[in-house]
Amino acid sequence: MRISSFNNDVSGKNKFSVSRRIAVCGILTTAALMLSYIEILIPPFIMPIPGFKLGLANIVTVYAVFCISDIDGAAISFCRILISSLLFGGVMSFLFSVSGAAMSFLVILLFKYILKGRFSWIGVSVASATAHNIGQLISAIFTVGIGVASYLPWLILAAVISGIFTGIILCFLMKKSFFKSINRELHKTG
Amino acid sequence: MFKNDSVSEKNTNLGLPKTKLTVFDVILIAVLLIIALLYPILSAAFLRESDSMYVEITDTGENIVYEYPLDIDKNIEIECGGHNYTVKIENGKASVAKSDCENQICVKTPPISKSGSSIVCAAGRLIVEIKSDFEEKNYADFVIQ
């Protein structure tokens, strides 16, 4: 499937126009928001580890940073957290999520620029999920106390499970010709 | 334009992560799991002091609080509410060894060792409680989005 009109700017140049950029970011933010809503719908008691979450919104963040741009990925992630905290959470959940997302973002950048070409989507999402959980743990240490650090092994285990899950979804999506063509278009325009 | 597209069609590598599991992924996951497995052992070596526990003996009648470390064996004689008690700390466990109160419930209570557990003698208003610097809060209760 070709998306021939995807890159046809008004000016006719091969440029990722501002309005198109806003539109793409908006769509991805909405997708991320829906994914975090779906996560809330999953009852917590079927989770094997307390506090475990699938981190489905991580799919969107990883995709946006790799395929669109760093700053857009950060913006999508931040907007998603802001809206989801306003709708479903509170101040605490906002602070926790921001510290997690910041760590996760830095690790995704590490994989994008320094460790590129070695890992698959699975490795990237496992690393970013782990970084997210560690970021949350750091803010928990500041708010609750050093005792929370003993929760680290469970958080790493949860991150590995959820990272493999979201990584498989990303691998599956990126094999689709739809995303392949979008990625090519985005890549050309930089 | 069209020609350009068909060229880039072949070029599937855009510097994006691979769509198949690589050796590096497996190494990364293995390293993370090893860290998770080894963490309890490492933290036991480093964090021992931070979760030290102590025995808190409270005379609720007079509002006097005594504190003793749980890891040093000791016999403590206390007079509280007109009764004499001997609190024994041994092998990281605290118990009331002797008491001259009537019902002897505090003596019959098995030794306590876990943070938060307590022995109470109602006759002399004595509370023996294990406390910890390491506040074991229920962190799973935090709502994390």
Chain B residue numbers touching A133 (CB-CB < 8 A) = none
Q: Is residue A6 part of a domain?
A: no
Residues of A whose CB is below 8 A from B142: 51, 92, 96, 140, 144
SS3 content of chain B, % helix, strand, coil (to 5): 30, 35, 35
Residues 6+ apart with CB under 8 A from B109: B95, B96, B119
DSSP H or E run through A175: helix A152-175
| Mean pLDDT for the stretch of residues A88-100 | 87
A144/A151 Cα distance (integer angstroms):
12
Domain CATH for A77: 1.10.1760.20
Q: Is the pLDDT of residue B1 over 90?
A: no
The CATH number for B56's domain is 2.60.320.10
- Alpha-carbon distance of B115 to A187, in angstroms, equals 58
What's the pLDDT at B72?
Answer: 79
Residue A1 included in any domain: no
The answer on pLDDT for A169 being more than 90 is yes
> Does residue B67 form part of some domain?
yes
Q: Is residue B10 part of a domain?
A: no
Q: How many domains does chain B have?
A: 1
Cβ–Cβ under 8 Å, residues B9 and A108: no
Six token digits for residue A31: 């997708």
Query: Is A3 within the bounds of a domain?
Result: no
Query: Buried (b) or exposed (e) across A92-105, using 16+ Cβ within 10 A?
Result: bbbbbbbbbbbbbb
- Of A88 and A25, the one with more pLDDT: A25
Chain A residues close to B28, C-beta within 8 Å: 119, 123, 126-127
pLDDT in tens, B87-128: 888 887 888 888 888 888 888 888 887 777 788 888 778 888
**pLDDT per residue as tens digits for the range B42-76:** 766 665 544 567 888 888 777 777 888 877 788 88
Instruction: Name the residue facing B142 among A88, A92, A122 (closest C-beta).
Output: A92
Residue B29 lies in a domain: no
Q: Is B35 domain-assigned? A: no
Tell me the average pLDDT across A69-92. Answer: 90
CA dist A22 → A61, A70, A94, A105, A180 (Å): 16, 14, 24, 20, 21
**Are A149 and B47 in contact (CB < 8 Å)?**
yes
pLDDT for residue B4:
46
Number of domains in chain A: 1
pLDDT given at position B102: 80
What's chain A's average pLDDT?
84
* Chain A contact present for B40, CB below 8 A: yes
Is residue B11 assigned to a domain? no
Residues of the domain holding B128 = 52-132
The residue of chain A nearest to residue B37, with distances taken between CA atoms, is A153
Does residue B71 lie within any of the structural domains?
Answer: yes
Give the span between the Cα atoms of B45 and B72, in whole angstroms.
19
Least confident stretch, A28-32, A168-172, B63-67 = B63-67
Kindly tell me if the per-residue pLDDT of B8 is higher than 60.
no
The verdict on a CB contact (< 8 Å) between B17 and A66 is yes
Question: What would the two tokens of residue A111 be?
Answer: 């994989």
- A75 domain-assigned: yes
Distance, in Å, from the CA atom of B28 to the CA atom of B34, rounded to the nearest integer, reads: 10
The ipTM assigned to this model is: 0.80
Do the beta carbons of residue A60 and residue A39 sit within 8 Å?
A: no
Decide if A171 contacts A122 (C-beta within 8 A): yes
Q: What's the confidence (pLDDT) of residue B57?
A: 84
Find the mean pLDDT for residues A130-156.
85
Q: Is the pLDDT of residue A11 over 70?
A: no
pLDDT at B39 over 90: no
pLDDT at A145 over 50: yes
Cα A147 to Cα A52: distance, rounded to the nearest angstrom = 19
Which residues are CB-contacts of B108 (< 8 A; sequence separation ≥ 6)?
Answer: none
Is residue B108 situated within a structural domain? yes
- Strand-pair partners of B65: B58
Question: Does B38 reside within a domain?
Answer: no
- Confidence class of residue A49 from pLDDT cuts 50, 70 and 90? low
Domain that holds residue A85: 16-189
Amino acid at B9: E
Look at residue A164 in the predicted model and tell me its pLDDT.
94
